[in-house]
Amino acid sequence: MHELTLVALNQEPEEEIGWQERSLCAQTDPEAFFPEKGGSTREAKKVCVGCEVRAECLEYALANDERFGIWGGLSERERRKLKKRAV
């Protein structure tokens, strides 16, 4: 997992971490989920499509205002748009 994710994991109550342990991204290259600016998000999103905890991941990212990386299959820009539509 990426360093930012590890910091978040260390601050979560133990029962809240369960979904992250079951995530497919935890079993793959973390660099794909935190591409350089302008880099492709395609590979990360392919992993997210088949992930059983995609909804929990997206919910976490929205609730914690994650500003970097692919969470729940969405980029930061896509999450921002989703939040605006929800308001």
Model pLDDT, residue 60: 95
pTM of the model: 0.76
Kindly report, residue by residue over 12-60, the tens digit of the pLDDT: 454 566 899 899 999 998 889 999 888 999 999 999 999 999 999 999 9
Residue 18: its pLDDT value, please? 86
Contact 68, 33 (CB under 8 A): no
Overall average pLDDT of the 63-83 stretch: 94
46 is in an annotated binding site: no
Q: Are residues 62 and 82 in contact, defined by beta-carbon separation less than 8 angstroms?
A: yes
Q: Is 25 annotated as a binding residue?
A: yes
> Binding residue per annotation — 51?
yes
Q: Does the annotation list 85 as a binding residue?
A: no
